[in-house]
Amino acid sequence: MNVVVVGSVALDSVETPYGKVENALGGSAVYFSVSASYFTRVGVVAVIGRDFPEEHLTFLKNRTIDLGGITREEGLTFHWKGKYSGDLNEAETLDTQLNVFETFRPHIPDEYREAPIVFLANIDPELQHTVLKQVKRPRLTICDTMNFWIDGKLDQLKETIQQVDILIINEGEARLLSQESNLIKAYRQIASYGPETLVVKQGSNGALLFTPSSIFSAPAYLLDTISDPTGAGDCFAGGFTGYLATVNTVTEHELRKAVIYGSVMASFNVEDFSLGRLKTLTFDEVEKRFASFKQLTQF
């Protein structure tokens, strides 16, 4: 196992100006692992309910994702219902049913404990912390979080991110976490909490990578139609982390390439609802779009 992800597996009902889906495959661990599976072998730690369709498990297995860390409980699967309107930059949550996710206590299988890379998707920072206690000094710990935890569990979150190498959050979260509106100052503040490397996702404006030695600005890939932005952030993290799993040394140069692979995966994911686009996506298409990102920024 090269990468272990701990997060949610969900059934999502999503509506955007371009259509809608009911009880479609979703969840941070799913988007992340499918995206990362283009680069490396991933193991998933998550919980599903009795209603979770077998076909989704088959899809994940066919992507050579290891499901040994997924437990099935008696209740129903986590369900999220949301709606995007206007420029699709923000989701309105219509309903959240935590179901079996409410009592989720991540248990890392023995065969995952020595994984070189751990990705903590956006879950309760206390649970993220219990994951870090179970793994054996991964080479790289990467973490996501959100406003809800920054507002509600800041101390616990800071305890977690103190042990994290790379934090991947969006622009608003970076400002909220650092209490700085300027992003350079925000990076300095966040680095003082622990993570030397910060990736700031900027939605339709691309992403920024901050390291102690430089700043990298990755463009957004412009599409003429975005069907559904759900999971874009997790697909970004999956491409980013998956690519890093393939390199011997995590240099500045490799981190920059990882940001672009993350952007590539996110850009494909938003082309269709749920995992629709990633179900047909080939690695050849991934490499072609990577080349397009080069073309987009060269001068």
Interaction between residue 199 and its own copies (CB under 8 A): no
Does 205 participate in binding its own copies (rule CB under 8 A)? Answer: yes
In contact, 25 and 56? CB cutoff 8 Å: yes
Which long-range contacts (C-beta less than 8 Å, at least 24 apart) are formed by 56-61? 56/25, 56/30, 59/25, 59/275, 59/279, 60/30, 60/33, 60/34
192 near its own copies, judged by CB under 8 A = no
CB of 210 to its own copies, least distance (A): 9
* Pattern 223-252, its own copies, x by CB under 8 A: xxxx--------------------------
Give me 153's structure tokens. 């569990």
**How many C-beta atoms lie closer than 10 Å to residue 128's C-beta?**
28
Q: Which is nearer to its own copies, 105 or 294 (CB)?
A: 294
Task: Work out whether the CA dihedral 70, 74, 144, 110 comes out positive or negative.
Answer: negative
Burial class (CB within 10 angstroms; exposed 0-12, middle 13-18, buried 19+) of 22: exposed
* Identified binder of its own copies from the candidate list 93, 179, 181, 248, rule CB under 8 A: 181
Q: Assess 218 for contact with its own copies (CB under 8 A).
A: yes
Least distance in angstroms from the C-beta of 247 to its own copies: 13
Q: Which is nearer to its own copies, 86 or 212 (CB)?
A: 86
Nearest to 142 by CA among 164, 172, 126: 164
Q: At closest approach, how far in Å is the CB of 259 from its own copies? A: 7
Q: Is 87 in the site for its own copies (CB under 8 A)?
A: yes
185 touching its own copies, by CB under 8 A: yes
CB of 267 to its own copies, least distance (A): 12
**Binding marks (x or -) toward its own copies, 259..298, rule CB under 8 A?**
xx--------------------------------xxxxxx
Burial 158-174 (b: 16+ CB within 10 A, else e): ebbbeebbbbbbbbbbb
CA 241 from centre of chain: 9
Backbone angle region of 60, left / alpha / beta, with phi > 0 → left and psi within -120 to 50 → alpha: alpha
Catalog residues that contact its own copies under the rule CB under 8 A: 86-87, 181-185, 202, 205-206, 208, 214-220, 222-226, 253, 256-257, 259-260, 293-299
